[in-house]
Structure 1
């Protein structure tokens, strides 16, 4: 069994969850049994809704808080009528608004039911109020999963405990809550705190020499995760920049706090995984220099391409970018560069895909530059069949651990222009062959210089052989095809299992 350890999952999942989803698809096709473990407490809705949204199979999921019950990970099918029948009193009045239904019953009591969908009577959770006080919340899938109990403290409902149930309604275990502290009473044991709970979970897995445990996140819980891994093989995935360059000298290095425990205990780790060769080389040299060790480090990209997307007709001067509209993506630099480049390339258009907090500011900038007729915000769109309509991809990001959009762009043959920063851009941009890397120094006074560099690169691209650039992007992308990445996983698994 391959266990993949993470914290949480949501609708706005991070690159870690998407990386795990890609991994799941490749390992599934290769026939490896696997579990994806989520350690965070998730209360907004049934975890199955979130995991299935990213393509996970129900039998692949372990949720820490459900693990010690006999309930299965399954879709929400508990009905409004079942809730109604469970209430301690006859329902006298019903209020319904969208996905919320309020059932009034007894004397001054009501149950607010939160539906999974407005047009279906399947209930995710219910809040029970008596005499104006919240007393309990119940959470469902196909059965009652757990209940939260509250008492009034300083005119506010305060959580005091959670009771987790088996399928037949019997109590599996109880969590007693005191602010940020928790005590778990389970199987006759008293576990003091989340660390002890995770420690007990890892011990309960009873891993064997045939198992592999891959840790994607471990902040604050590294000790509990490491303690009971053996005899399984242990791997750690590096998803971001792993050290602070500004705080690193020839004698000391400041590791990213998300990876510090793993690095300091690297002698217990059987292998590390980075998404790019560049990061693997840097990490390998740093381990030798600062820790005097040489652990096994593999490069396996966090994403892959099922196929290369060919284009029958690209809009000749169509440029695009795709990312969160966040300040660190520097979309404003790209907008200004396109406006200036259009003076030399009159046919130029620029489409911006994505959403984020910078949308209003960037929209205003486009208006101020009188560029609304050729710079367009496209919003959040599924991009798989969009890239092929364009000829050039711009990125202004100053930091990319990998860059899934970069991979997808070269997979559709786009030329690329971006900053010469680790790790994504130099992985997908081959200088002068499929795009241009712009030298970067983190100095605000250089912003205008950078914008001018983008302008010159855009002009240079359109004055050159654009088809040759597209061809080379496809060449780069071929190394990221799903069959290639799947084989990397197979090779790693076979090597560590027979080590």
Structure 2
């Protein structure tokens, strides 16, 4: 009980707020890497992963291979299919079979380390009280009572027939949604208002008892989270939280306390995790000093625009970090230039420029095996990626280079107003057979290895996994010269080309300079591959060792953890 009381006092403001301008020295863990737990904190790890999630997975492999330590991946979004996603990553070899991947919801719902039990809804189909029909073209079930009233619509996985969720109806109105975990058990029940929005959510343990309750209230036409209640297995109230942030803080603090050793929290998704990580560190420090350090990673431009970086409003994802750069034990930027800009505006902190790692297990394909007129662009369909500029530049070359093709890959593919607009642009240009808007791909390397060049038209990139992966597979990149990644990753005219942001004519000219000279293109390809050695795990690991040594974590390991 004393720990819970201390935690409640902490939430009520008995310690300083995160934004207080207090200078502090980093905690000194004084432990070996082998004795230290590394936690990579993300929002989710889904089937279609963001660049931030992919970066965390790459770093995870680096830690295993070079530091001989498997980090713990932790997510904070309720995802009933997380286990399915993680198992897919294990099968693909992206994660080791033994690596821990935890969710705060699995933790709070006592649903960690459960076996998979396929639940296809057979009992529903066999119930003599229901009239069940299979939905044409889908694996779903429509369930009526014997009088013909709709009771349930059962949505099932199109591959395994496992129940994903069940919508319940009364008098034609959807009143409830039951969400099933991919391991087979009922995980969450949403009780809905007449507009189909949740008023109360019950999160259940695998044994059916209530673990969490979320209560919502109507505000300006939206349902706003009002309260979260944590329940014991007998239904008793254990704790009450006013926000998701407080719930995350409670969960990570509890997980840390129950795990022996010292802890390094690497915060990838700062909007959701930074304040809870700092709060958990400070709470534990009150009881056991020098046990936890927090290291946020700046994965994007730290301002809202790339213009006037010294006065532009701060990116909301990083406002809490930049409000006091002395608060975290260290901060990772992805480039040296961003580190310099942050320090010049927000003051000196413990900033470490460490880029992403990448290491291909394949050699570069022969240049004559490439389709040198094929351009690939890997970027989610989002306005800041400026796909329309890539299309406009390609259109200027299409007539002169009839073999040229432009393939986009990303998510979400639909429903998406941007994708609709891009398709309309392609159709208006009459280039439907030359430009394709494709969905997410698990293995972009396949496309980099066969294409003649890659294209990136973003308005800002803190690093750019796209450019790094393109270089590593000898696919010369052409990109706008925006802060910060492109100019740090691309050696202009040697490994790829840089053009001024927004200049479609210059972008078209850059592409044509490559198409028009196959010898030059082959030279760019070869030099891109040679230059990619700087992204290898061993190179990047040296920078992580330097960061860890700043708070007393050293390498004393005799046993290598294998990549299973």
Q: Normalising by structure 2, what TM-score?
A: 0.72
Identify the residue that residue 340 of structure 2 maps to in structure 1. 281
Q: Give me the whole-angstrom Cα distance separating, in 2, the residues matched to 1:370 and 1:109.
A: 46
Identify the residue that residue 525 of structure 2 maps to in structure 1. 470
Identify the residue that residue 105 of structure 2 maps to in structure 1. 65
1:383 Cα offset (Å): 3.4
Q: Which moved more, 1:206-215 or 1:362-371?
A: 362-371
Question: What SS does the aligned partner of 2:275 have?
Answer: helix
Structure 2 counterparts to residues 472-491 of structure 1, below 5 A: 472-486=527-541, 488-489=543-544
Q: Give me the whole-angstrom Cα distance separating, in 2, the residues matched to 1:244 and 1:138.
A: 37
1:4 Cα offset (Å): 1.8
Identify the residue that residue 139 of structure 2 maps to in structure 1. 99
Identify the residue that residue 320 of structure 2 maps to in structure 1. 261
Of the three residues 81, 84, 96, the one matched with 1:49 is 84
Q: In the alignment, is residue 313 of structure 1 matched against residue 313 of structure 2?
A: no
Q: Give me the whole-angstrom Cα distance separating, in 2, the residues matched to 1:477 and 1:94.
A: 58
RMSD across aligned positions (CA)? 3.7
Identify the residue that residue 443 of structure 1 maps to in structure 2. none
Identify the residue that residue 243 of structure 1 maps to in structure 2. 303
1:40 Cα offset (Å): 2.5
Of the three residues 155, 163, 186, the one matched with 1:123 is 163
Identify the residue that residue 23 of structure 2 maps to in structure 1. none
Question: What SS does the aligned partner of 2:133 have?
Answer: strand
Q: Is the 8 A contact 2:354 2:544 kept in 1?
A: no
Q: Give me the whole-angstrom Cα distance separating, in 1, the residues matched to 2:509 and 2:78.
A: 50
Q: Is the 8 A contact 1:173 1:185 kept in 2?
A: yes
Identify the residue that residue 169 of structure 1 maps to in structure 2. 208
Identify the residue that residue 225 of structure 1 maps to in structure 2. 277
Identify the residue that residue 408 of structure 2 maps to in structure 1. 353
Identify the residue that residue 77 of structure 1 maps to in structure 2. 117
Task: Name the count of aligned residue pairs.
Answer: 477
Q: Give me the whole-angstrom Cα distance separating, in 2, the residues matched to 1:72 and 1:326.
A: 34
Q: Give me the whole-angstrom Cα distance separating, in 2, the residues matched to 1:141 and 1:116.
A: 9
Structure 2 counterparts to residues 255-404 of structure 1, below 5 A: 255-283=314-342, 287=343, 289-301=344-356, 303-315=358-370, 317-324=372-379, 327-338=383-394, 340=396, 349-354=404-409, 375-377=434-436, 379-380=438-439, 382-404=443-465
Q: Which moved more, 1:255-264 or 1:138-147?
A: 138-147
Q: Is the 8 A contact 1:321 1:395 kept in 2?
A: no
Q: Give me the whole-angstrom Cα distance separating, in 2, the residues matched to 1:67 and 1:341.
A: 54
Q: Give me the whole-angstrom Cα distance separating, in 2, the residues matched to 1:454 and 1:140.
A: 47
Q: Is the 8 A contact 1:328 1:398 kept in 2?
A: yes
**Residues 102 and 274 of structure 1, relative CA distance in 2, 3 Å threshold:** same
1:455 Cα offset (Å): 4.1
Q: Give me the whole-angstrom Cα distance separating, in 2, the residues matched to 1:438 and 1:220.
A: 35
1:473 Cα offset (Å): 0.8
1:432 Cα offset (Å): 2.4
Identify the residue that residue 444 of structure 1 maps to in structure 2. none
Q: In the alignment, is residue 146 of structure 1 matched against residue 191 of structure 2?
A: no
Q: Normalising by structure 1, what TM-score?
A: 0.80
Question: What SS does the aligned partner of 2:494 have?
Answer: coil
Q: Give me the whole-angstrom Cα distance separating, in 2, the residues matched to 1:257 and 1:169.
A: 39
Q: Give me the whole-angstrom Cα distance separating, in 1, the residues matched to 2:463 and 2:306.
A: 21
Q: Is the 8 A contact 1:69 1:164 kept in 2?
A: yes
Question: What SS does the aligned partner of 2:449 have?
Answer: helix
